[in-house]
Amino acid sequence: MINFKIVDSYDEIGVLASKMVAEIISKNSNPVLGLATGSTPIGLYSNLIKLYNEKKLDFSKVSTVNLDEYVGLEEDNPQSYKYFMNENLFSKVNIDIKNTFLPNGAAENLLEEAKRYENILESFENIHVQILGIGSNGHIGFNEPFNELNLYTSIVDLKKETIDANSRFFEDSSMVPRKAISMGIKSILRADKIILMAYGESKAKAIEYLANDKISTDVPASFLKLHKDVHIIVDKEAAKYLK
Ligand code: F6R
């Protein structure tokens, strides 16, 4: 079931999501968080850091698994998602870095790496929550619209619109990797709870589709409708077409 929550601003998305994640961290003895990168979850992470600094949150028993990583970027590359996570969360809280997992996009054998990563996901009895952003084309993780979607962690080709959207983080679009390694749809649906956040008008069409009673590989996020506990937190612009 999908539960929609419309808030006034980007900041409020982060505050609300951080309350939900903080509750999960507090009530589980070994919390496992599925995390995302991109601009959307930065507000969530800064609110979690704030709660940690106020001594209201302890990350010492937290494990994390990330959705995806660019192929070809070493982890010390500032554009890599590993680097992003260190900068925006891991280095700012008392998490044990050994308990943080991302696919390795610089692995020599990427197919083996995808299998290794899926095994890591399966090694957790529960992933208590999966954080998601959404592409304006409806992608989640890097599961792009196509006639088929991957169930499990796979190597994927990024669509032109994703390369264009992500080029804002690079010097120019020719530097954006063309491939990524991403959790599949079933890997994502394994989580007990899913929190998808979106802000801005560019996401409004994709969010509108999530409110109808259809699923389509053209909107990969629509597969979230098969999950029993999905929370979508959006600002007014992203909610523009919701009735
Ligand atoms: C990031 C990810 C992507 C982003 C999506 C939205 O780990 O998996 O699906 O969530 O591309 O990106 P932003 O938040 O930058 O609009």
Q: State the SS3 of 40-67.
A: CCHHHHHHHHHHHHCCCCCCCCCEEEEC
Token pair belonging to 228: 């029993």
* Gap between the Cα atoms of 228 and 169, Å rounded: 34
What pLDDT digit, counting tens, does each position of 124-149 carry?
A: 999 999 999 999 999 999 999 999 99
Alpha carbon nearest to ligand 1 atom 10, residue: 133
pLDDT at 5 over 90: yes
Percent of the chain with pLDDT over 70: 100
Alpha carbon nearest to ligand 1 atom 1, residue: 37
Short-list 214, 224, 236, CA closest to 3: 224
Give DSSP secondary structure letters for 68-102.
EEETT--TTSTTSHHHHHHHHTGGGS---GGGEE-
Handedness of CA 29, 55, 37, 79 (dihedral sign): negative
Give residue 172's pLDDT: 85
DSSP state of 193: -
Quickly state the pLDDT bin for 173 (edges 50, 70, 90).
Answer: confident
State which H helix or E strand residue 232 sits in.
strand 230-235
Of 69-73, 118-122, 171-175, the range with the lowest mean pLDDT is 171-175
C-alpha distances in angstroms, 82 versus 67, 208, 216?
Answer: 11, 31, 31
- Judge if the beta carbon of residue 139 lies within 6 A of ligand 1: yes
Atom number, ligand 1, closest to the C-alpha of residue 200: 16
* Gap between the Cα atoms of 82 and 67, Å rounded: 11
What is the pLDDT averaged over residues 216-230? 98
CA neighbours closer than 13 Å in the CB half-sphere of residue 237 = 10
| Mean of per-residue pLDDT scores for the chain | 97
* Gap between the Cα atoms of 7 and 10, Å rounded: 8
* Gap between the Cα atoms of 153 and 207, Å rounded: 24
Short-list 114, 33, 108, 99, CA closest to 69: 114
Instruction: For residue 157, count other CB atoms closer than 10 A to its CB.
Output: 13
C-alpha distances in angstroms, 193 versus 1, 16, 219?
Answer: 11, 15, 20
Between the CA of 36 and the centroid of ligand 1 the distance, in Å, is: 7
Token pair belonging to 153: 């962690």
pLDDT at 108 over 90: yes
What is the pLDDT averaged over residues 56-75? 97
What pLDDT digit, counting tens, does each position of 70-98 carry?
A: 999 999 999 999 999 999 999 999 999 99
pLDDT at 214 over 90: yes
Atom number, ligand 1, closest to the C-alpha of residue 202: 16
Provide the annotated active-site residues: 68, 137, 139, 144
Give residue 243's pLDDT: 87
Helix, strand, coil share (%) of the chain residues, nearest 5: 40, 20, 45
What is the pLDDT averaged over residues 49-61? 98
Percent of the chain with pLDDT over 90: 96
Total-model pTM: 0.97
What is the pLDDT averaged over residues 18-41? 98
